[in-house]
Amino acid sequence: MTVVYSTVTSKGQITLPVDFRRALSLEPGLRVAITLDGDRVVISGPPKIDATRAALRRAAEAAGTWAKPYQAGDGWRAAVQGNHGQS
């Protein structure tokens, strides 16, 4: 396990080292999950897009909407943006 130290700014921000960003394929605008695990903070990259697609398909099949055409406001875009931070 690699350990590096980052300084917390007055705004509570830290810089994630470039090697870590590359390892998680993080780009500006992507959302990360931040979890408190006891006295540890765990930062996870967003789920892979294939996993999001599979989850959306399962949800649509369960709701009986998989074969229906996309309709504005049906929640699909919000689901992807919630996981990935992009449209």
Ranges assigned E (strand) in the chain? 33-37, 40-44
In one letter, which amino acid is 17? Answer: P
- Tens digits of per-residue pLDDT, 57-77? 888 888 887 877 666 666 777
Whole-number average pLDDT of the chain: 84
Could you name the CATH architecture of 1-46?
Ribbon (2.10)
The pLDDT value recorded for residue 86 is: 59
Q: Which residues pair with 41 in a beta bridge?
A: 36
The pLDDT value recorded for residue 12 is: 95
Q: What percentage of residues in the chain have a pLDDT greater than 70?
A: 85
Q: Which residues of 14-28 are buried (b: 16+ CB within 10 A; e: fewer)?
A: eeeeeeebeeeebee
The pLDDT value recorded for residue 49 is: 81
Please check the confidence at residue 38 and state whether its pLDDT lies above 90: yes
Distance CA 59, CA 82 (A): 15
* Per-residue confidence band for 46, with pLDDT thresholds at 50, 70 and 90: confident
